[in-house]
């Protein structure tokens, strides 16, 4: 009988003292858990990106596409696909920073063009219809000399675009990317993609697909992000 009374007292103590305290502790712990009330929360990646002030409209052009493969090789990714991957990566970084980004293409669905002028007209029409403030075309070199490497920048005779090009060079040097081969604003008329003088435009030949060192960087997703961040930093400094 004495043992029954002891067990009864212990059970009563647990019911009246221990369980309420345990429940209270659990409720408090749940209240301390932050609740995300936003539909599209910022990530650490977004927070670290410097925000632009201009909200400029930037048209990103990935060269080639569709039946135009660009450079082809059995052991390499197609040039048109590298151009697109880089363009989308660059556009993503610019967009996260607050620029309004449009594209001439976001996939491989483009018309068959008669020649480079026909292709350029189609791409420029995309930029014009999107009321782009700036136009950036991404392409690659191919060369019979597999040791040839590096990047070049072609712009119109536009001081702002020349300054942007020089800053892209500075940013590429910070990430130790390839060889700088120069900025050319004197021969832009040789490039149909730069023919619209109403839209400040740049053609960035961002590397040699035929050079193993350039190629390894151009197809590496992590290094693509470095290149895109470098271009973003240049825009923030020169077009903000």
pLDDT at 30 over 90: no
Question: What pLDDT band is residue 35 in, cutting at 50, 70 and 90?
Answer: very low
- For residue 111, give its domain range: 52-238
Contact 199, 133 (CB under 8 A): yes
Judge whether 15 lies within some domain.
Answer: no
Judge whether 81 lies within some domain.
Answer: yes
Judge whether 157 lies within some domain.
Answer: yes
pLDDT at 37 over 50: no
C-alpha 240/C-alpha 223 separation (Å) is: 25
DSSP assignment string, 102-164: EES-SSS--PPPSSHHHHHHHHHHHHHHTT-SEEEEEEEE--S-TT---EEEEE-S-HHHHHH
Judge whether 225 lies within some domain.
Answer: yes
pLDDT at 29 over 80: no
Q: b or e along 137-158 (b: 16 or more beta carbons within 10 Å of the residue's beta carbon)? A: bbbbbeeeeeeebbbbbbbbeb
Assign 228 to helix, strand or coil.
helix
Judge whether 14 lies within some domain.
Answer: no
Give per-residue pLDDT as tens, 1-24: 545 455 555 555 545 544 544 444
Question: What pLDDT band is residue 49 in, cutting at 50, 70 and 90?
Answer: confident
Q: What is the mean pLDDT of the chain?
A: 86
C-alpha 35/C-alpha 116 separation (Å) is: 54
Residues in contact with 118: Cβ distance below 8 Å, sequence separation at least 6, in sequence order: none
Give per-residue pLDDT as tens, 98-150: 999 999 999 999 999 999 999 999 999 999 999 999 999 999 999 999 999 99
Give per-residue pLDDT as tens, 195-235: 999 999 999 999 999 999 999 999 999 999 999 999 999 99
- In total, how many domains does the chain have? 1
Judge whether 17 lies within some domain.
Answer: no
Judge whether 96 lies within some domain.
Answer: yes
CB atoms near residue 174 (< 10 Å): 12
How far is C-alpha 119 from the geometric centre of its chain's CA atoms?
23
CATH number at residue 60: 3.40.630.40
pTM for the whole structure: 0.80
Residue with tokens 């008669």: 114
Judge whether 105 lies within some domain.
Answer: yes
């Amino acid at each position: 009988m004495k043992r029954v009374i002891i067990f009864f007292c212990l059970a009563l103590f647990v019911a009246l003292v221990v369980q309420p305290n345990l429940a209270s502790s659990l409720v408090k712990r749940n209240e301390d858990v932050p609740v995300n009330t936003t539909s599209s929360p910022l990530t650490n990646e977004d927070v670290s990106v410097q925000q632009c002030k201009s909200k400029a409209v930037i048209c990103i052009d990935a060269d080639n596409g569709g039946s135009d493969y660009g450079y082809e090789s059995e052991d390499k990714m197609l040039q048109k696909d590298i151009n697109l991957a880089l363009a989308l990566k660059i556009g993503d970084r610019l967009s996260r920073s607050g620029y309004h980004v449009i594209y001439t293409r976001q996939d491989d669905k483009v018309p068959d063009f008669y020649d480079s002028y026909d292709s350029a007209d189609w791409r420029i029409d995309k930029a014009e219809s999107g009321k782009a403030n700036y136009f950036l075309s991404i392409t690659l070199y191919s060369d019979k000399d597999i040791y040839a490497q590096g990047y070049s920048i072609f712009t119109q005779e536009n001081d702002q675009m020349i300054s942007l090009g020089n800053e892209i060079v500075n940013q590429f040097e910070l990430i130790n990317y390839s060889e700088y081969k120069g900025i050319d604003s004197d021969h832009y008329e040789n490039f149909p993609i730069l023919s619209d003088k109403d839209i400040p435009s740049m053609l960035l030949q961002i590397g040699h697909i035929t050079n193993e060192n350039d190629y390894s960087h151009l197809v590496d997703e992590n290094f693509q992000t470095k290149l895109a961040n470098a271009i973003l930093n240049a825009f923030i400094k020169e077009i903000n």
